[in-house]
């Protein structure tokens, strides 16, 4: 690309029927001024383009980071959800096991109480029979005693 300085330093040879030097110089001055503006604007636009490309890269990096963060957050949420489900299932399993143990213990207590009841019932029957036997024996002894007394008194 031609620089404004190269345009300014360009010299043309004079010919027989050449252009008017003043008009050519004046036009070249205008061309130099406009070209210099365009040249500077081109440099500024390239700088701006470079800066915008850097910003785009920065925003692309941010987008990648956000996407990675979202993926990690989603995985973490899924893990938390899975852990919560596992924990709740574990709590349910433990509660069911405790309930089963409580029911089993209550059933064993009922069996023991029934056994005690049967034992007490048997003991009561045995006691009743012995007491009846004792009473009968005492009654017989008393009758014998009184019968003997009656015989002595009759004598």
Please report the pLDDT score of residue 103 as a whole number.
Answer: 97
Return the half-sphere exposure (C-beta side, CA atoms, 13 A cut-off) of residue 138.
6
Please report the pLDDT score of residue 12 as a whole number.
Answer: 73
Q: What separation in angstroms does the CA of 118 have from each of 61, 105, 115, 124?
A: 84, 20, 5, 10
Provide the residue-wise pLDDT of the chain in tens; the chain has 155 residues.
Answer: 777 778 777 777 777 777 777 888 888 888 888 888 998 999 999 999 999 999 999 999 999 999 999 999 999 999 999 999 999 999 999 999 999 999 999 999 999 999 999 999 999 999 999 999 999 999 999 888 888 887 777 76
pTM, entire model: 0.46
Residue 133 CA to residue 141 CA, distance in Å, equals: 12
Give the number of domains in the chain. Answer: 1
Instruction: Give the structural domain span for 126.
Output: 4-8+16-154
Residue 97 CA to residue 90 CA, distance in Å, equals: 10
Cα 71 to the center of its chain, rounded Å: 15
Q: What separation in angstroms does the CA of 57 have from each of 9, 46, 64, 113, 141?
A: 41, 16, 10, 82, 122
Positive/negative CA dihedral, 63, 69, 75, 77: negative
């Amino acid at each position: 690309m031609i620089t404004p300085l190269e345009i300014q330093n360009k010299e043309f040879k004079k010919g027989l029927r050449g252009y008017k030097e003043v008009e050519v110089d004046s036009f070249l001055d205008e061309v130099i001024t406009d070209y210099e503006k365009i040249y500077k604007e081109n440099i500024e636009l390239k700088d701006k383009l470079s800066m915008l490309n850097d910003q785009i890269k920065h925003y692309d990096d941010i987008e990648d980071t956000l996407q990675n963060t979202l993926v990690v957050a989603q995985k973490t949420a899924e893990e938390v959800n899975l852990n919560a489900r596992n924990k709740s299932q574990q709590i349910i399993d433990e509660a069911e096991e405790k309930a089963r143990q409580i029911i089993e213990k209550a059933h064993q207590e009922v069996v023991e109480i029934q056994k005690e009841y049967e034992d007490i019932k048997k003991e009561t029957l045995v006691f009743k029979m012995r007491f009846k036997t004792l009473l009968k024996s005492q009654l017989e002894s008393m009758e014998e005693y009184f019968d003997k007394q009656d015989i002595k008194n009759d004598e």
